[in-house]
Structure 1
Amino acid sequence: MGRRGITLLVLAGLLIPPLAGPPAATAADTLVPGGRPDVGAAVARGAAPAVPFGSRPRPYAEGVITPSGSPAALDRRVVAHYEDWKSAFVRRDCGNGWYQILSPDADHPYVAEAQGYGMVIAATMAGADPDARRIFDGLVKWTIDHPSSVDPDLLAAEQDADCRSVDGGDSATDGDMDVAYGLLLADRQWGSEGTYDYRDLAVRHIAAIKRGEVDPDTHLLRLGDWSGSGDRYRQVSRTSDWMAGHFRAFRGATGDPAWDIVRDAHQTLIAVLQSTYAPDTGLLPDFVVDTHTTPRPAPGEILEGPDDGAYGWNACRTPWRIGDDAVTGGDVRSLAAARKLDAWIREKTGGDPAMIGTGYRLDGTRISAGESAAYVAPFAVAAMTNPGSQGWLDALWRRMSATPVDPSGYFSASIQLQVMITVSGNRWVP
């Protein structure tokens, strides 16, 4: 599939990622015999990442905790998980210079959400993976070559095994949010003088999100560019799309104060939902309806199933998304929301991560049996916001470290990897 493993340095019997080692090569770099990048040419082009993995350029907010252990030990665990994730899901299918993130557990082989995850991950892992920029640029080409049928500056949500967009070719908001954010990370990592002008692409993508995926009346995110005026889904929003840290980055990149309004609208609604519908748990529902009047959890099936108003396979990401903003920016509202979630789950499970279920009613009643990293990992980011949760955070880290990448489940593996990046101290906002 054209993939190579991560270059590792063996020191004293330990695997140490080369945090400031050879720079990543772009797709345009000269190749030496065997198809490997000419590192000397890459250096000459100034391709070394500005924020190599492990450099921790910006401290987290005051009072934020990380797992016990040395930063180097935490980094080794993240790199090992990344290597397995990359082997399982990073593909070069259908030619055309594309890279894609395979999504075997989704409705289609390739979905926008997975590509967005891949772009954020690749840009963050630069410095540990010499292929990071090559992968990133291949994902950029994929997004350019698979435009939404509604707005060509957004990404079509689903592609089939032949890499063709299907089901109308319109967008999915969560994928677009991460695509734009990944492009901002890439601009910070490598600049925008190479094959692609990352910053220009990011600004265009952010503008398209604003015009097609943000409701102009409520300032809340829609499901995609297809849920516009007159559509019955216009007053529906998905809580896992509410990425406050992304809104902060979009405001910084564009200077557009509208993103402050968008951010405030989502944080206000999080507080209302927690206090009104989940005062004892802080849990958010997968979907919110009636956003133009009195927003409330979906009363039944609205898009995916009868439990659309519960804490399910969408909302399970919210402790991670809310927590990310809390630990990197110290926002008091994100901190309050994350701490509420942390306090509930720690008491609910008795401090045992194995007791975290796969779905809850908003009152904390467990819906289904089983365990998944998609539910376990996000609570680790919430735990970072509470200095009294050190033992709980350490238990969650051990659980994640012992959970291998399942090649049949990109969703859980991708969430866990991104959580491990944050929890290890390696999350930074462009």
Structure 2
Amino acid sequence: MRIYWERIKIIPNMKNYYILTFFTYLLFSFTANAQIAAVSFENADYQFGTQPTNISTNDIYDVYVSWRNTFAEPCNNGRYRIKFDTSSQSVSEGIAYGMLLSVYANDKELFDGLWLYYQDFVNANGVMNWKIEGCTTVIGNNGATDAELDAAYALIVADKKWESTGAINYESDALSLISIIKTHEVENGTNVLKPGDAWGGSNTTNPSYFAPGYFRAFGVYSNDTAFWNAVATTSYAILNANLSQNNASYNLVSDWSKADGTYSNEVSWAYDQGRSYYYDAARTPWRMAIDYVWYGDTQAAAYNQLCIDFVNAQGGFNEIYPGYSQAGVAINTGYKDATFTGAYSSAAMTSINQSFVNNGYSELKNQPTAAYFGATLRAIYMFALSGNMYNALEENTLSVNGTVQNEFKIFPNPVLDYLNVSFKTSKARVITLYSINGQQLILKTVNALEAKLDLSEFNSGIYFMNIDGESYKIIKS
């Protein structure tokens, strides 16, 4: 929260006004701090892949609160917007990114405000017009599909986390938006993802919008798996065709493409006419990484391996630059950008090399930026790496309202010293902690609602905890 002070002269008959203003500020301050206090993280273990073990206790909280304080701005009637590069403006992409971050951060006030803002500016097809001036005026018409995808999935997470019994029916809204995407943003008959509701398809698509992990989730959630699995399959076919048709180096897909992999002739306004791995395509490794850590998809693994090979060929994460030709020639070598580094760090979760994965996280953490796009994606990538972009449809997903939850909760994870285990019911249980090599380190019988394990003397790394026959990965910082 930013506080601006200015020197004022209090005229006697205005004294009450300033007292009232002061107390209004205090009330706002307490409310804002209470909302920040509600922020919490699951730090979940993905079913597939390798996560960093060098994430510090406050990293994710700090990056989220910093992002929120910098970019989230209230409108009226509970609405919030995310400030774009031109800070008086907002774009649908940023609103949806904000929904992803806020729902995974358990920040219901911000999430609800962003979704209400999105709905205030929908077009006739039901998708948000892509650019808005402040809180009032549409200045860019029609939708951008990546925003709809992120918003729809965020609504699914909200439904699973907070349920749909309040003022906003997240389930109904998620299903409605998924249906709108199917009708208006997937090309009829080809399963090609369009870049917007009003244009594109086989002649123009954007590979960085492809989110096969979301598509699989949409299929399960809306009971339409055949359709959405086909969209995922088509997305991979286009990615691979783009790499093949243009003799691309490693994973370097182009920003824009035709469905056959060749270059689109409809995006002359884009950098290099959409033919480079630039600020659109940069997000592709993150999208494929999510599909891998959620579902273990082999096509995701193959693409992520190309990303890993590219990083190694460059000499490491600290040698990744913002933008490349498809032949692998760097566009900018004068600076680094988390937009690119973090996406590669996310793809690194496919690797079994723990040191490599940790190096990716370290480099991402050390690339802060004040720019809207880079700062927002940096937070998203850090969420993904820390287990805070988990698959909400997994059976063990935690609901804060308690309807769908485990018999116990393990926290914090990653852990620095003491690991806490809280149970819903008290009964005799056996807790065992093993090293990654299978050596038994702790054996403890408990019959209480809480247990605390001292891991302060253990080395950093991965451990496994067994409770009543179920195993869980523990990361020691």
Give the alignment partner of residue 190 of structure 2, picking from 218, 226, 241: 218
- Tell me the CA shift for residue 395 of structure 1: 2.1
Q: CA RMSD in A?
A: 2.7
Name the amino acid aligned to 1:325. D
Choose between structure 1 and 2 for higher RCO, CA contacts under 8 A separated by at least 6 residues. Answer: 1
The alignment status of 1:396 with 2:378, answered yes or no, reads no
Give the alignment partner of residue 79 of structure 1, picking from 61, 66, 72: 61
d(CA) in 2 for partners of 1:356 and 1:115?
28
The alignment status of 1:355 with 2:312, answered yes or no, reads no
8 Å contact from structure 1 (residues 74, 424) kept in 2: no
Matches within 5 A, 1:201-350: 201-227=173-199, 235-256=203-224, 257-278=226-247, 280-289=249-258, 291=259, 294-298=260-264, 301-348=267-314, 350=315
Aligned to 2:351: 386
> How has the CA–CA distance of structure 1 residues 55 and 280 changed in structure 2, closer, same or farther, with 3 Å as cutoff?
closer
Give the alignment partner of residue 96 of structure 1, picking from 71, 77, 98: 77
Aligned to 2:95: 115
d(CA) in 1 for partners of 2:65 and 2:142?
32
d(CA) in 1 for partners of 2:276 and 2:319?
18
- Tell me the CA shift for residue 217 of structure 1: 2.6
> How has the CA–CA distance of structure 1 residues 419 and 162 changed in structure 2, closer, same or farther, with 3 Å as cutoff?
closer
8 Å contact from structure 1 (residues 221, 242) kept in 2: yes
Name the amino acid aligned to 1:413. A
8 Å contact from structure 1 (residues 274, 282) kept in 2: yes
**C-alpha offsets along residues 43-77 of structure 1, whole Å, 9 cap, x if unaligned?**
xxxxx99xx51352xx4244x212233xxx44521
8 Å contact from structure 1 (residues 176, 205) kept in 2: yes
SS of 1:165's equivalent? strand
The alignment status of 1:54 with 2:42, answered yes or no, reads yes
**C-alpha offsets along residues 362-416 of structure 1, whole Å, 9 cap, x if unaligned?**
121112233211111100011110113x33322222222223341xx11111111
User: Greater strand share, 1 or 2?
Assistant: 2
> How has the CA–CA distance of structure 1 residues 202 and 337 changed in structure 2, closer, same or farther, with 3 Å as cutoff?
same
Aligned to 2:147: 175
8 Å contact from structure 2 (residues 184, 197) kept in 1: yes
d(CA) in 2 for partners of 1:324 and 1:394?
18
Aligned to 1:163: 136
Aligned pairs, number: 366
- Tell me the CA shift for residue 255 of structure 1: 0.7
8 Å contact from structure 1 (residues 278, 284) kept in 2: no
Aligned to 1:141: 116
d(CA) in 1 for partners of 2:132 and 2:291?
31
SS of 2:257's equivalent? strand
d(CA) in 2 for partners of 1:373 and 1:216?
36
Aligned to 1:34: 27
SS of 2:275's equivalent? coil
d(CA) in 1 for partners of 2:122 and 2:171?
18
Gaps of 5+ in 1: 4-32, 43-47, 127-131
SS of 1:306's equivalent? helix
> How has the CA–CA distance of structure 1 residues 377 and 356 changed in structure 2, closer, same or farther, with 3 Å as cutoff?
same
- Tell me the CA shift for residue 2 of structure 1: 9.9
> How has the CA–CA distance of structure 1 residues 77 and 181 changed in structure 2, closer, same or farther, with 3 Å as cutoff?
same
d(CA) in 1 for partners of 2:270 and 2:136?
24
Name the amino acid aligned to 2:58. R
d(CA) in 1 for partners of 2:269 and 2:318?
30
The alignment status of 1:65 with 2:40, answered yes or no, reads no
TM score, norm. by length of structure 2: 0.71
- Tell me the CA shift for residue 361 of structure 1: 1.1
Name the amino acid aligned to 2:288. I
d(CA) in 1 for partners of 2:57 and 2:151?
25
8 Å contact from structure 1 (residues 160, 166) kept in 2: yes
d(CA) in 2 for partners of 1:101 and 1:38?
16
> How has the CA–CA distance of structure 1 residues 165 and 361 changed in structure 2, closer, same or farther, with 3 Å as cutoff?
same
Aligned to 1:429: 391
d(CA) in 2 for partners of 1:299 and 1:345?
30
8 Å contact from structure 1 (residues 90, 99) kept in 2: yes
Aligned to 1:9: none
8 Å contact from structure 2 (residues 192, 231) kept in 1: yes
Aligned to 1:419: 381
- Tell me the CA shift for residue 303 of structure 1: 4.0
Q: Which moved more, 1:245-254 or 1:277-286?
A: 277-286
8 Å contact from structure 2 (residues 208, 255) kept in 1: yes
Gaps of 5+ in 2: 4-25, 393-477
d(CA) in 1 for partners of 2:358 and 2:178?
37
Give the alignment partner of residue 365 of structure 1, picking from 310, 329, 348: 329
d(CA) in 2 for partners of 1:198 and 1:68?
34
d(CA) in 1 for partners of 2:145 and 2:266?
22
- Tell me the CA shift for residue 88 of structure 1: 0.5
- Tell me the CA shift for residue 249 of structure 1: 1.3
d(CA) in 1 for partners of 2:2 and 2:32?
16
The alignment status of 1:199 with 2:180, answered yes or no, reads no
d(CA) in 2 for partners of 1:80 and 1:39?
14
Aligned to 1:374: 339
